[in-house]
Amino acid sequence: MTQSSMIHHSPAWQRLAVHADEMRDVHLKSLFTENSGRHARFTRRGVGLTLDLSKHRWRDETLSMLLELAREADLERAIARLQNGERVNLSEDRPALHTALRLPPEASLVVEGEDVVPDVHETLARMQAMVEKCHAGQWRGATGRPITDVVNLGVGGSDLGPLMVTHALADYRPRDVHQVDIHFASTMDGSQLADYLTRFNPATTLFVLSSKSFTTIDTLSNASTARDWLMTRLADGGQDTEMSELVMRQHFIGVSAKPERMSEWGIDPRHQLRFWEWVGGRYSLWGAIGLPIALAVGMDNFRELLAGAHDMDRHFRETPLEDNLPVLLALAGIWNVNFLDVRAHSILPYDGRLEYFASYLEQLEMESNGKSVTNDGEITPYSTCPVLWGQLGPNAQHAFYQLLHQGTQAVECDFIAPVRRYDRVEDPATRAHLKAQHRLTLANCIAQSRVLMLGDEALPSDVPRPSHKRYRGNQPSTTLLLDRLTPRTLGALIALYEHKVFVQATLWDINPFDQWGVELGKQIASETEQILASRRGAEALDDSSRGLLDVVWQAQDGT
Ligand code: F6P
SS3 of 335-394: HHHHHCCCCEEEEEECCHHHCCHHHHHHHHHHHHHCCCECCCCCECCCCCCCEEEECCHH
Distance 214 CA to ligand 1 centre (A): 9
For residue 506, how far is its CA from the centre of ligand 1 (angstroms)? Answer: 23
SS3 44: strand
- What letters, b where the CB count within 10 A reaches 16 and e where it falls short, cover 259-268? eebbeebbbe
Asked if residues 341 and 368 have their Cβ atoms less than 8 Å apart, the reply is no
522 annotated active-site = yes
* Candidate list 9, 39, 433, 522, residue with the active-site label: 522
211-261: per-residue pLDDT in tens? 999 999 999 999 999 999 999 999 999 999 999 999 999 999 999 999 999
- Ligand 1, closest atom to CA 289? 14
Q: Which of 398, 426, 468, 469 is catalytic?
A: 398
- Residue 161 CB less than 6 A away from ligand 1: no
Atom 13 in ligand 1: residue holding the nearest Cα: 211
Q: Using 50, 70 and 90 to split pLDDT, how confident is the model at 2?
A: low
Distance CA 250, CA 239 (A): 18
Please indicate whether residue 258, judged by its CB atom, sits closer than 6 Å to ligand 1. Answer: no
Backbone angles phi, psi at 312, to 5 degrees: -70, -35
Distance 211 CA to ligand 1 centre (A): 7
Query: Cα(218) to centroid of ligand 1, in Å?
Result: 10
Q: Which of 216, 279, 285 to mutate to test the pocket of ligand 1 (most atoms within 8 A of CB)?
A: 216
pLDDT of residue 8: 86
Does ligand 1 lie within 6 Å of residue 272's CB atom? Answer: no
Residue ranges per structural domain of the chain: 3-72+319-459+468-514, 98-300, 517-557
- Within the chain, what is the greatest distance between any pair of CA atoms? 83
What's the mean pLDDT when you consider all of the chain? 97
Burial of 250 (0-12, 13-18, 19+ CB in 10 A): buried
pLDDT tens, residue by residue, 531-559: 999 999 999 999 999 999 999 999 999 97
| Cα 240–Cα 241–Cα 242 angle in degrees, nearest 5 | 95
489 near 48, Cβ under 8 Å? yes
pLDDT at 6: 82
Q: Is pLDDT above 60 for 140?
A: yes
Q: Hey, whose CA ends up nearest to atom 8 of ligand 1?
A: 157
User: What's the CA gap between 209 and 293, in Å, rounded?
Assistant: 14
Tell me how far the alpha carbon of residue 225 lies from the centroid of ligand 1, in angstroms: 20
- Residue 515 in contact with ligand 1 by CB distance below 6 A: yes
Which residue's CA is minimally distant from atom 10 of ligand 1? Answer: 156
Q: Is 155 in the pocket of ligand 1 (CB under 6 A)?
A: yes
Domains 3-72+319-459+468-514 and 98-300 share a fold: yes
pTM above 0.95, yes or no: yes
In angstroms, rounded to a whole number, what is the distance separating the alpha carbons of residues 245 and 248?
Answer: 5
Which residue type, as a one-letter code, is found at position 504?
Q
Q: Tens digits of per-residue pLDDT, 145-195?
A: 999 999 999 999 999 999 999 999 999 999 999 999 999 999 999 999 999
Tell me the pLDDT band of 331, cut-offs 50, 70 and 90.
very high
Q: Whose CA is nearest to atom 6 of ligand 1?
A: 281
Is 367 known to be catalytic? yes
Contact at 8 Å (CB) between 215 and 262? no
> Tell me: domain 3-72+319-459+468-514, CATH 3.40.50.10490, correct?
yes
Residues of 6-32 as b/e, b for ≥16 C-beta within 10 angstroms?
Answer: bbeebebbeebeebbeebeeebbbebe
With CA atoms as reference, report the closest residue to 45 among 544, 517, 489, 546: 489
Measured between alpha carbons, how far is 474 from 145 in angstroms, rounded to an integer? 60
Torsional class of 266: left (φ above 0), alpha (ψ -120 to 50), beta (otherwise): left
Q: Selecting from 3.90.25.10, 3.40.50.10490, 2.102.10.10, 1.10.3720.10, what CATH number does the domain 98-300 have?
A: 3.40.50.10490
465-495 confidence digits (pLDDT tens): 899 999 999 999 999 999 999 999 999 999 9
What's the first-to-final CA gap in the chain, in angstroms? 59
Do 189 and 179 touch, CB atoms closer than 8 A? no
212 CB under 6 A from ligand 1?
yes
Work out whether strand 43-46 and strand 49-52 pair parallel, antiparallel, or are unpaired: antiparallel
Task: Choose among 359, 341, 356: nearest CA to 476.
Answer: 341
- Of the candidates 367, 371, 438, 499, the residue annotated as catalytic is 367
Average pLDDT over residues 503-524: 97
Task: Say how far apart CA 205 and CA 152 lie, in whole Å.
Answer: 11
